Amino acid sequence: MIAHAPAEAYAYLLLGRSLERQNRMEDAAPYLRLAAAMDSSYARGEEDTRSAGGA
């Protein structure tokens, strides 16, 4: 997915979250940081409040 859309922040977020779910935190960290840098709404915690009906 990232190879086809390298400018898509959501792809990096999904990859990072998938790695987190596999308890691969060190592998996930760079992808989560990149997603947050590309789209500040993906900064840790903000996407959770957005999906819960927050701002």
Q: Where are the alpha helices (DSSP H) in 1-55?
A: 9-21, 25-38, 46-51
26 Cβ contact partners less than 8 Å away, ≥ 6 residues apart: none
Kindly report whether the global pTM for this prediction surpasses the value 0.85: no
Q: How far is CA 26 from CA 6, 16, 38, in A?
A: 21, 10, 20
Q: What is the pLDDT of residues 1-55, one digit of tens each?
A: 787 888 999 999 999 999 999 999 999 999 999 999 999 999 976 554 445 444 4
